[in-house]
Structure 1
């Protein structure tokens, strides 16, 4: 019985240590969510505004053309997917959900006869594809949370270069972005968005047509939009990075809270088993003492 109690106490101590780690991770993630959410709120309006502006101008102006606006860009049949995952673990289903979306998208594109080039942010996505002998074209890892804007700029430059390249061995026809949208602390979901070719703004059939502003371009429409459209790609990538890191913190907080509760459940379980074993040991000792006393009484002997 003594050995059994020692084993239970060992497991209780181990669970208590894990509980402290999980609780600390939960508190760290909780404190980082607010800052990450603030960055999301700061970048989302700009990204949405530039997308709407470019879409409106592209829909209602014929003064310019840009490769990103061409709906039929098929040249090489190569498609790029930018997948955003986590650099660290203990984040629940955050990275697996994004990887699953990327896999479904990739399979769908391959069924259409297209070649898929993977560009990955984060160690989790990189290790997933390396383990399956499917290395990515380029990987950004590790990355720092406070340098997401610089990271987004670097990624946008790399992808813009392959999108505009004239080299058939490098050129990419389409660009898809797979990240995680942060809706609240309790709700995040992986999503797929197509960045290139860009979508255009259209009025719904039978609905009231919106009024779009009139634009004047200096020096000319082609020069202005040539500078503006690449910034659209960068703004969408940076905003998705911000939303993904906020979603990662929220997912990690929930995962660590669940892990803390599970550790406490294990502590309670082994404490109960240890108490049961101790009670059984005490009962056995009492039984042995009473049995010994009865044996002495039956033999007529008395202790001195």
Structure 2
């Protein structure tokens, strides 16, 4: 009986230590989520403005530019997958990877080759464990991304986009990431970066009209200058969205884990007390039995 009490005591101590770790990670994620959300909000105006500017320039002129021109046949696609470097974030990375798998299956079903680019150690481990190929991976700082990382990723993807199919280039670029909606809701999302979709939409308000630009030099040169900035800003915005989603998911996961640890401690405490009471009862029974035996003799 004493051994059973020691087992419950060890379980209580180990679970208490784990609860402290969960609580610390929850507090860290909670303290950082505010800054991450602020960075997301700060990045959106520029990303939206440059996308709007590129759409306006492309819609005002009839030009054949790789940025906005749909290829006659899409034979190879690039897919950039954004996950986390660390775990303990619930189903955050798993949801993004599942979305990426669905996109890759869809593209292959359309007869397209897929070249995969990864961000985060979780995606790298997922692909390496299953023996699946990938072109390049970026790790480190997924919960606090830097613009230099977005610039490097954009440079690699643009180089692939500018190459022809025979040289190993791609005809379109997709990004799979988790879009931050709230502290409770983060949605795995697929966005096609290139070619840029320029659609004529119904305008209900004058504020919805695309601005009219007078630009110098030629349209092609303007779009050539805007292209890297457009890609970098969209990738950086996706990285910031993914970082906020990761921190929110980790905060929820650690709170849930801490609550479960508290319930386990209560359960083990009750079992320990029950075992201790049974041990005391057994000792009293043995004492009474011994006393009765002495009196009987």
TM range (shorter): over 0.9
Contact 1:52 1:201 survives alignment (8 Å): no
Contact 1:29 1:250 survives alignment (8 Å): yes
Q: For 1:231, what is the secondary structure of its paired residue?
A: helix
Aligned length: 296
Which of the pair has more CA radius of gyration? 1
Report the counterpart of residue 226 of structure 1 in structure 2: 224
Cα deviation, 1:103-161, whole Å, max 9, x if unaligned, reads 00000000111111100000000110111111210111234655521100000000000
| Pair 1:82–1:73, CA change in 2 (3 A) | farther
Does 2:45 align with 1:45? yes
Q: 2:241 aligns with which of 224, 232, 243?
A: 243
Report the counterpart of residue 69 of structure 2 in structure 1: 70
* CA distance in structure 2 between the partners assigned to 1:240 and 1:39 by the alignment: 11
Does 2:126 align with 1:107? no
Residue 186 of structure 1 and its aligned partner are, at CA, apart by: 1.6
Q: 1:177 aligns with which of 175, 178, 186?
A: 175
* CA distance in structure 1 between the partners assigned to 2:142 and 2:127 by the alignment: 22
* CA distance in structure 2 between the partners assigned to 1:91 and 1:146 by the alignment: 15
Unaligned runs of 5+ in 2: none
TM-score by length of 2: 0.95
* CA distance in structure 1 between the partners assigned to 2:144 and 2:89 by the alignment: 19
Unaligned runs of 5+ in 1: 300-304
* CA distance in structure 2 between the partners assigned to 1:123 and 1:212 by the alignment: 40
* CA distance in structure 2 between the partners assigned to 1:213 and 1:68 by the alignment: 19
* CA distance in structure 1 between the partners assigned to 2:89 and 2:117 by the alignment: 21
Q: Which moved more, 1:53-62 or 1:255-264?
A: 53-62
Matches within 5 A, 1:210-221: 210-221=208-219
TM-score by length of 1: 0.93
Report the counterpart of residue 260 of structure 1 in structure 2: 258
Alpha-carbon RMSD across the aligned residues, in angstroms, is 1.7
Residue 57 of structure 1 and its aligned partner are, at CA, apart by: 2.5
Contact 1:175 1:196 survives alignment (8 Å): yes
Residue 13 of structure 1 and its aligned partner are, at CA, apart by: 0.6
